[in-house]
Amino acid sequence: MEINKKILAIKYRPQIFEDLIGQDIIVEALKKSIKQNSIPNAYLFTGIRGVGKTTVARILAKSLNCLNRQINDCKTNKCNNCEEISESRHIDVLEIDAASKTGVEDVRDLIEFSRYPPTSSKFKIFIIDEVHMLSKQAFNALLKTLEEPPKYLKFIFATTEVTKIPITVLSRCQRFDLMRVEFDILLKFLKDVLNFEKNNLPDDVIKLIIKISEGSVRDALSLMDRILLNTSEDNKNVDLKLAYEVFGYLDKSYLIDLLEKLLKGDEANVISQYRNIYNKGIEPKLFLNNFLEIIYYLKNLKNFKKESFRELNNNEFESLEKLYERVDNKTLFLFWQFTVDAISEINLVSNQNLSVEMFLVRLLYLKDHNKSPNDNSNKIIKGIENLEKNNQTLETDKKKENLMNNNQAINQIKISSQKLTETDLKKKNFESKNKIQSMSDLIEICSKKKEIGLKFELENNVNLVSFKSNQIEISFNDNLDKNFVKNLTSKLSDWTGERWIITLSKKRGSQSVNEIKLQKDKKKIKELEQNSSYKKMLKFFPDVEIVTIKSLEEEHDE
């Protein structure tokens, strides 16, 4: 088989255990297993793409069938078996792609082939790549052979999605989880490859490659191949800017600059900066994810050492340091939450680009808690906040964003839609003021005002803790409508012309109105069942049952 040696990912594919990087513990375990002749029936290698699952499987197959296994000198003195396995032409080592051979018939052919012992080596080995792609019937057909195979038969599985493999198969395998290759190890490896290739790349570009590869060696080598194709012979034109363009990656400096403009409230330049980023080919969802990264870096800038932020170059790190002094944690937390919400909502909009622009405008008008009342650099609106009182949380609807013309700070509200200014109250003309001094008064006025929804919630889902002048303390069950507090506060203000405060308590409170009524009805029914007239009636009508009780007054009202 002819191998394209120009492709770095193939050219530098490890051929022996010593060449593997970032998997020292697994390599040591496999070597000891072979040395002590403690070899399981089946191996399972799992991990993300490009960390060496199939490579380890092939090296393991060579080590098991090596003619000089005790010497273990395949690097300088390769035997015939090792050479044939490396070139995928060994008759006793069969490598199968489960993505293309998923059916039960394929597995049955494999089992039939396993009946014959090896011809020129110690073991007959089946390497099944992406084993999770096998069908349920194929896995079932494999189970018996997998549990009690002939002594000469070994299975080696590789997969990126171990959760899709049946537990009955997992329990029959010795599992090894390959880790992402660490940053420093991958950095040294890529520099060594560049030395062998007699090429050179700036450290910032190599670090960007490692960042994008996410710990995958194959991805890192493929990215390096791509950037080297865009270099001249003297390599002088290779820089970070070119790398960003080649990889279609977002330069962090653009995001830091955009975040700075956001904090200044510079709407025109924020939109202009984003459109500049979008025109570079950055997808809206990728932009939002990168924006989250910048917020994370900014929040944790002083929590970790500079070496922890390897993805940032010196200029970007210095820009974040300057920005860190001008932004508070509350603002960053709000930015984070709004960005996460924007990512979850972006697929609902056909034009995602417009969705991101509106998201940035929303950030512009978020309240900055640490600004003084005289600081008009940021535009301010009423924020959106969750009510947290005594570990009881009630989600409130988002208020409409009302901008103040003078851009002066508004105190943050405790409960959305629950605060009315004195001026607002004076402007209202009340036809008549209602006196509400108890829960029964409140339920009665709800009935008079045709507020059936509020009446239902008060009777069924609310437990009264205390009822004082213009203050109601309640607890509630899981069925309470999320808009209840907002609606009740608004209606009480309309009906009485006064400001009311609804407080949520962790105390249980009294039973709901309907629970009390049901208890009373049950008591009355029991009393009636003891009545002599009812007992006489049962003699003639044994199936009679008292379901409910109504007074003559209630019947008249109906």
Q: Are 295 and 231 in contact (CB under 8 A)?
A: no
Structure tokens at 65: 């069938």
pLDDT tens for the chain, 558 residues long, are 344 557 888 889 998 888 899 999 999 999 899 888 889 989 999 999 999 999 999 999 988 888 776 655 566 667 788 888 888 888 889 888 888 888 888 888 888 888 888 888 889 999 999 999 998 888 988 888 888 888 899 999 999 999 999 999 999 999 999 999 998 899 999 999 999 988 888 888 898 899 888 889 999 999 998 888 876 555 556 777 788 878 877 778 888 888 888 888 888 888 988 988 888 778 888 889 889 988 988 888 878 777 667 777 777 888 888 888 888 888 888 899 999 999 988 888 888 888 899 999 988 887 443 344 344 334 333 333 333 333 344 344 444 344 343 333 334 333 434 444 444 444 444 444 567 878 888 888 888 888 888 888 888 888 888 888 788 888 888 778 878 888 888 888 888 878 888 888 777 777 777 777 777 777 777 777 777 777 777 776 777 677 676 665 544 444
- Contact call for residues 97 and 130 (beta carbons, < 8 A): yes
With 0.75 as the threshold, say if the pTM is over it. Answer: no
User: 79, 66 in Cβ contact below 8 A?
Assistant: yes
Is 161:99 a contact under the CB 8 Å cutoff? Answer: no
Q: Where in the chain is the domain with CATH 1.10.8?
A: 183-247
Instruction: Report pLDDT for 234.
Output: 52
> Would you state the pLDDT for residue 531?
76
CATH for 252-364, among 1.20.272.10, 1.10.287.3510, 3.30.9.10, 3.40.640.10? 1.20.272.10
SS3 463: strand
What residue spans in the chain does CATH classification 3.30.300 cover?
427-510
Phi-psi region of 281 (alpha: psi -120 to 50; beta: other; left: phi over 0): left
List, by residue range, all CATH 3.40.50.300 domains of the chain.
8-177
Q: Are 109 and 137 in contact (CB under 8 A)?
A: no
Kindly give the residue spans of alpha helices, DSSP state H, lying in 352-511: 352-364, 422-427, 439-448, 452-460, 484-496
Top-tier CATH class for 8-177: alpha beta
Question: What are the start and end residues of each CATH 1.20.272.10 domain in the chain?
Answer: 252-364
Q: Max Cα separation, the chain? A: 112
- Domain spanning 183-247: CATH 3.30.2310: no
Predicted local distance difference test score (pLDDT) of residue 5: 56
pLDDT at res. 290: 87
CATH topology of domain 427-510: GMP Synthetase; Chain A, domain 3 (3.30.300)
User: What gap in Å lies between CA 512 and CA 531, rounded to an integer?
Assistant: 29
Q: Evaluate the CA torsion angle 330, 333, 335, 341 in order and state its sign.
A: negative
Token pair belonging to 373: 């009342």
Beta strands in 17-120 (DSSP E): 42-46, 93-97
